[in-house]
Chains A and B, each alone.
Chain A
Amino acid sequence: MSMIEGTTGAWEIVVGCEVHAQVVSESKLFSGASAAFGAEPNTQVSLVDAAMPGMLPVINAACIRQAVRTGLGLKAEVNRISVFDRKNYFYPDLPQGYQISQWNHPIIGKGVVLVDLPDGRSCSIGITRLHLEQDAGKSLHDQHPKQTYIDLNRSGVALMEIVSEPDMRDAEEVGAYLRKLRSILRYLGTCDGNMEEGSMRCDVNVSVRRPGEDFGTRCEIKNVNSVRYAMQAVEYEARRQIDIIESGGKIAQETRLFDPSKGETRPMRSKEEAHDYRYFPDPDLLPLKLEEAYIEEIRSALPELPDEKKQRFVTEYGLSPYDAGVLVSEQEYAAYYEAVAAGRDAKLAANWVISELFGALNKRGVGIDASPVSAGALGELIGLITDETISGRIAKEVFAEMVETGKAPGAIVEAKGLRQVTEPGAIREVIAKVISANADKVAEYKAGKEKLFGFFVGQAMKETGGKANPKLVNEILKEELGK
């Protein structure tokens, strides 16, 4: 937690998040229409999605399974009985005139997310609830000078609204929470976490208070579609609220919009204009009852999640918690790492994946799925280092070549003749040459200028094109200079 210093003293930021995560499913929450992204407008709309007269919603069992899976992944209570309610309001992209959501009885109750912060601290963020609801369609305002077009492809797509407790105290914690949540959802395969495509959206509730005092009045910031924006929005909003309070004003509870181009929030609608949604249980749907055995079956099929995997990496591979945390942040990283480390020096493998591989991917702007170096190839390279076929320094050269050409490390080493010189006679020969060529420096060294030792090492390595085994060079050089 970090305080913000105002003109009248320190302030604490309080943040809670509402994340809308689109459920990974073939079809929509209450209809058989496809839930796929990016189709031509109005091509994925069933009679139910268009709210034709007499149409009825039927719960998609796959979406329920995903919600339960997510709940278990968030270490949350799975409610044996939950209820779908109607949230009533008029809007052209809401065909029914109501959204089917869950109000008083959500499918998932309290849970917790453990979060690691860049400074090494950890904290736990409470999950208040997770409920299922329908997405609305999309209003297209830019297709016609005066009219709005409606695309109902998204209408009825299943969303999980994941509500956190107001447990976050600065932008870093918000960023870490969102990243961790996204990681868990991706591990579970219940949401692809793609914030750019809108399959994960976030509303942040921000307030400020004096340390130890009651919560202040909060503002809800909508339309935050990246982790970075969420962090910016929190920073901006907290500062805005502190400025208002310190200049004698009061915070109005309102919904605000984050403008990424300006990095600021601005009012969207105030409480006075707030809708009365007239929630009531949807009479078309019976309460959802989940059997114990069903929940246990889902629990037993859960994958290893980031926290457990991290712990295992620390104990099994001897990694630092920080490195383990980096490697488990995405399931693909962890899988890649484990393939590299299999049967090899696990710590060395971690260093190579984190610094060399991630560096190369970053530079090329590609994900690990498009890595030019396969886990097998990187493992082979690490094998070449540990069996002393090449030195670490040469390995970096080989790796650069692997990234460029996609060739196997062994082939590169052979083709370029990069195999390490480990034959003592050959090294002794080179060293003899260096000593005879630098008689003056040898004399200085012998007179006590011991730091010249490095110079001789460098010369020897240069002579061998960097291929000499550095350990042997050191040993033999010491021996020869000591004569």
Chain B
Amino acid sequence: MAALTQLSLAEARDGLQKKDFSAKELAQAHLEAMSAAKDLNAFITETPELALAAAEAADARLARGEARALEGVPLAVKDLFCTEGARTTAASHILDEFVPPYESTVTANLWQAGAVPLGKTNLDEFAMGSSTTTSYFGPVENPWSPQGEGRPLVAGGSSGGSAAAVAAGLCLGATGTDTGGSIRQPAAFCGVVGLKPTYGRCSRWGIVAFASSLDQAGPMTRSVRDAAILLGAMAGFDAKDTTSAELPVPDYEAALGAGVRGLKVGIPTEYRAEGTSQATVDLWEQGKAWLKEAGAEVVEVSLPHTKYALPTYYIVAPAEASSNLARYDGVRYGLRVEGEDLADMYRKTRAEGFGAEVRRRILMGTYVLSAGYYDAYYLKAQKVRTLIAQDFEAAFEKVDVLLTPTTPTPAFPIGEKEDDPVAMYLNDIFTVPASLAGLPGISVPAGLGPEGLPLGLQLIGRAFDEATILRVGAVLEAAAPAMTPPRMAP
């Protein structure tokens, strides 16, 4: 049997039920792996006491034959989900001592299903970034590194800690959040599966807000099946989030294995973006071939407004963020830096509490909402957003799913692109359009580039049709070579 940390979530679940090992053993193996991999900086807060207590409770339930969907499965949670009694920082100095008196709906769902909480993973500050280098707690290192070179790579972002923890075998799965690519891009960089569900599929209640009309929680795992299992436990209508969808959650795991025969796969012409690596282009071709071989019909489709997606995103998301982050004012909780008067206290608290990227986005957002600029920026962006959504609607009249690269390039060294925000933002060029349209997307690790670094392919589906992208993702996964990072926990 493989080491406990190398099992898939599904294997661990089944092993627990068969009493091959206990939940406590499984939790301990992961806690040890976390200790041994501290240099990756994947976790901001580890919760071993909570994990062991939950594992013991899970063992008791397993013994009684009352196991729930995730009974005893050790998971990591992005430190953007509020966890009752466990520090929740959003990787920001302004919240670095914040302990919520409440539990987010998504994590509450996971604990209700019997999952074991290992800790809170590192991320870009307030989920703003594509590299997890904007964290107040320092960057996350990608468990993958280029062949013959020791220079650490970024894990991607913003859910870089979750991606690295999953890839390195520090947990069986993790939650992420995705606003413009924050699940899919780090998943691609770390060679794991990351799924951003349809906007409204998972409750946003208790997740520190970045951009409310885009934020969505989703699973990060080492297999497509694991993503299906984890999504099933996370998702569901929540009366506390009026943007969550009042729809039943399908059995995603059961939808796997149906293959792609008879499905139509669209290839968006406009995704042949400048700056895309040859390896990425080649892998995309390979992906098409795999799906064709498996019986799918592959057709070219057009999403004509694609080139406006990134600028649109960088108006809408900062605008919402500038307002969402106004509550961090030093008055009620979080950091307060005293000042001479109220305005001075605000200035000092927010200047010291927020990092450079967060401040940049607050400034951008404030600017685009200002009197005299609102129509030219925010209102225009909303109109373009509608056009982008209409592009997808038209495409989905012809096809069932879209296949694209997840990112233009593989992971880059930590420290690169730091002085060029636009270059950093271009990481999300393939993930942002689906975010703006609220559609589900999954990144599946599909191969290694010339430097031996993982690359991902993205599948975008119809609204609330996560089942289809999981089903197609499983086909890609089966065709792709197995990928284990050099830093996988033994």
- A interface vs B, CB < 8 Å? 47, 50-59, 86, 88, 90, 92, 95-98, 148, 150, 276, 278-280, 282-286
Min CB distance A82 to B, Å, is 14
Are B209 and A280 in contact, CB atoms less than 8 angstroms apart? no
Which chain A residues border B208 with CB–CB below 8 Å?
Answer: 53-54
How many angstroms between the C-alpha atoms of A98 and B329 in the bound complex?
12
Residues in B with CB closer than 8 Å to A50 are: 332
Q: In the bound complex, do residue B323 and residue A86 qualify as a contact, i.e. CB atoms below 8 Å apart?
A: yes
Q: A88-B326, A280-B374 are in contact. Are A56 and B366 (CB under 8 A)?
A: no
Chain B: which residue is nearest A51 at the CB level?
Answer: B327
A-B contact pairs, 28 of them (CB 8 A): A50-B332, A51-B332, A52-B100, A53-B90, A54-B81, A54-B82, A54-B206, A56-B204, A58-B239, A90-B326, A92-B329, A95-B331, A97-B326, A97-B327, A97-B329, A98-B326, A148-B342, A150-B331, A278-B366, A278-B371, A280-B319, A280-B323, A280-B369, A283-B211, A283-B243, A283-B320, A284-B212, A286-B242
Q: Which 10 interchain pairs have the tightest Cβ spacing?
A: A97-B326, A283-B213, A283-B212, A278-B369, A51-B327, A54-B206, A53-B208, A276-B371, A92-B331, A54-B82
CB distance from B210 to the nearest CB of A (A): 11
- A285 near B213 with CB under 8 A, answer no
A276 CA to B378 CA, complexed, in Å:
15
| A383-B204 Cα distance, complex, nearest whole Å | 68
Which residues of chain B are within 8 angstroms of A53 by Cβ–Cβ distance? 82, 88, 90, 95, 98, 100, 208-209, 327
A51 contact set on B, CB distance < 8 A: 327, 332
List, in ascending order, chain B residues with CB within 8 A of A57's CB.
242
Q: Which residues of B contact A58 (CB under 8 A)?
A: 239-240, 242
Check A95–B327 contact: CB distance below 8 A.
yes
The prevalent SS among residues of B at the interface is loop
**Measured between alpha carbons, how far is A128 from B178 in the docked complex, in Å?**
42
B21 CB-CB contact with A under 8 Å? no
Given contacts A58-B242, A59-B242, A276-B371, 20 further A-B contacts (CB under 8 A): A50-B332, A52-B82, A52-B102, A53-B88, A53-B98, A54-B204, A58-B239, A88-B322, A88-B369, A90-B329, A90-B346, A92-B342, A96-B327, A98-B326, A150-B331, A283-B243, A284-B209, A284-B212, A286-B242, A286-B243
Q: Knowing A92-B331, A278-B369 touch, does A56 contact B205 (C-beta < 8 A)?
A: yes
Complex alpha-carbon distance, A54 and B208, angstroms: 4
From B90, B101, B104, B370, A276 is in contact (CB under 8 Å) with B370
- Tell me how far the C-beta of B96 lies from the nearest C-beta in chain A, rounded to whole angstroms: 13
- Give the distance in Å from the alpha carbon of A339 to the alpha carbon of B205 in the complex: 53
Rounded to whole Å, the gap between the CB of A140 and the closest CB of chain B is: 14
A283 to B212, CA, bound (A): 6
Query: A280 and B100 in contact (CB under 8 A), knowing A56-B240, A95-B327?
Result: no
Cα distance A90–B331 when bound, in Å?
A: 11
Interface centre among A51, A86, A150 (most CB of B within 10 A): A51
Q: Report the separation of the CA atoms of residues A59 and B374 in the bound assembly, to the nearest whole angstrom.
A: 26
Cα A53 to Cα B208 with chains together (Å): 5
Once A95-B332, A278-B323, A280-B378 are accepted as A-B contacts, the answer to whether A54 and B366 lie under 8 Å apart by CB is no
When the two chains form their complex, are residues B242 and A56 in contact, meaning their CB atoms are under 8 A apart?
A: yes
Q: Please, which residues of chain B bring their CB within 8 A of the CB of A286?
A: 242-243
List of A residues within 8 angstroms of B371 by Cβ = 276, 278
A286-B366 Cα distance, complex, nearest whole Å? 22
- Let me know if B241 is at the binding interface, CB within 8 A: yes
A285 touches B211 (CB 8 A): no
For B301-345 the 0/1 string (1 means CB < 8 A from A) is 000000000000000000110110111010111000000001000
**A97 close to B102 (CB less than 8 A):** no
Measured between C-beta atoms, what is the minimum distance from B437 to chain A in Å? 15
**Given A88-B323, A283-B212, residue A47 in contact with residue B332 (CB < 8 A):** no
Please, how many angstroms separate the alpha-carbon atoms of A276 and B366 in the complex?
A: 10
With contacts A86-B323, A280-B374, A284-B243 known, is A52 near B329, CB below 8 A? no
B207 adjacent to chain A (CB < 8 Å): yes
The CA-CA distance from A279 to B90 in the complex, in Å, is: 26
Report Cα–Cα, A185/B81, bound state, in Å. Answer: 43
Inter-chain contact count A-B, CB under 8 Å? 95
A90 to B345, CA, bound (A): 12
Q: What DSSP secondary structure best describes chain A's contact surface?
A: loop
- A98–B240 Cα distance when bound, in Å, is 20
Question: Taking the nearest CB of chain A, how far is it from the CB of B338, in angstroms?
Answer: 11
Give the docked Cα–Cα distance between A51 and B342 (Å).
Answer: 19
Q: Which residues of A contact B81 (CB under 8 A)?
A: 54
Min C-beta distance of B75 to chain A, whole Å: 19
Instruction: Give the residues in chain A near B329, CB-CB below 8 Å.
Output: 90, 92, 97
Q: Is the CB of A278 within 8 A of B370?
A: yes
Q: Please give the distance in Å from B406's CB to the nearest CB on chain A.
A: 26
Tell me, in angstroms, the Cα distance from A210 to B369 when the chains sit together: 39
- Max chain B CB contacts within 10 Å: which of A51, A57, A280? A280
Q: Please, how many angstroms separate the alpha-carbon atoms of A361 and B192 in the complex?
A: 80
Q: Per-residue 0/1 for B198-237: is the Cβ within 8 Å of any A Cβ (1 yes, 0 no)? A: 0000001111110111000000000000000000000000
Per the bound structure, the CA–CA distance linking A284 and B200 in Å amounts to: 11
Chain B residues within 8 Å of A55, by CB: 205-206
Residues of B within 8 A of A278 (CB): 322-323, 366, 369-371, 374
Query: How far apart are the CA atoms of A57 and B90 in the complex, in Å?
Result: 21
Residues on B with beta carbons closer than 8 Å to the beta carbon of A98: 323, 326
Chain B contacts of A280 at CB under 8 A?
A: 319, 323, 369, 374, 378
Residues from chain A with a CB closer than 8 A to the CB of B95 are 53
A280 to B325, CA, bound (A): 15
B79 to chain A, nearest CB (A): 11
From 147 to 206 in chain B, residues with beta carbon under 8 angstroms from any chain A beta carbon are 204-206
**Residue on A nearest B365 in the bound complex, by CB:** A278
User: CA of A161 to CA of B426 in the docked complex: distance in angstroms?
Assistant: 45
Cβ contacts under 8 Å, B346 to chain A: 90
| Complex alpha-carbon distance, A57 and B323, angstroms | 14
Question: Which A residues are in CB contact (< 8 Å) with B104?
Answer: 54
Q: Which residues of B contact A47 (CB under 8 A)?
A: 101-102
- Does B209 contact A96, Cβ atoms closer than 8 Å? no
The answer to whether A56 and B241 have CB atoms under 8 Å apart is yes
**A460 to B262 Cα, complex, angstroms:** 114
Q: Whole-angstrom distance between the alpha carbons of A150 and B331 in the complex?
A: 9
Bound complex: CA of A56 vs CA of B200, how far in Å? 13
* Residues in B whose Cβ lies below 8 Å from that of A279: 369, 374
Residues on B with C-beta less than 8 A from A88 are 322-323, 326, 369
Q: How far is the CB of A66 from chain B (nearest CB, A)?
A: 19
Residue of B nearest to A275 (CB): B371
Give the docked Cα–Cα distance between A228 and B378 (Å).
44
CB of B395, distance to nearest CB on chain A (Å) = 25
Point out the residue from A52, A92, A150, A285 that lies within 8 Å of B333, measured CB to CB: A52
A102 to chain B, nearest CB (A): 16
A150 and B81 CA atoms in complex are apart in Å by: 28
Taken together as a complex, chains A and B put the C-alpha atoms of A54 and B101 apart, in Å, by 12
Shortest Cβ gap from A43 to chain B (Å) = 15
Contact between chains at B323 and A97 (CB < 8 Å): yes
- Report Cα–Cα, A380/B254, bound state, in Å: 80
Q: Tell me the minimal C-beta distance from A269 to chain B in angstroms.
A: 15
- Cα–Cα, bound, A86→B322 (Å): 11
Nearest-CB residue, chain A, relative to B239? A58
Instruction: Output the nearest chain A residue to B366 by Cβ-Cβ distance.
Output: A278
Residue of B nearest to A59 (CB): B242
Alpha-carbon distance A284/B326, docked complex (angstroms): 15
Q: Within the assembled complex, what's the spacing in Å between the Cα atoms of A279 and B95?
A: 27
Taken together as a complex, chains A and B put the C-alpha atoms of A98 and B322 apart, in Å, by 11
A45 to chain B, nearest CB (A): 10
Alpha-carbon separation in the docked complex, A150 to B241 (Å): 28
Residues on the A chain within 8 Å of B90, using CB:
53
Q: Which residues of B contact A150 (CB under 8 A)?
A: 331
Residues of A within 8 A of B325 (CB): 97
Q: Which of B209, B239, B319, B333 contacts A54 (CB 8 A)?
A: B209
Give A155 to B395 CA distance when docked, in angstroms.
46
Q: Considering only CB atoms, which chain A residue lies closest to B369 in the complex?
A: A278
Per the bound structure, the CA–CA distance linking A53 and B326 in Å amounts to: 11
CB distance from B205 to the nearest CB of A (A): 5
B-chain residues with CB within 8 Å of residue A92 when the two chains form the complex: 329, 331, 342
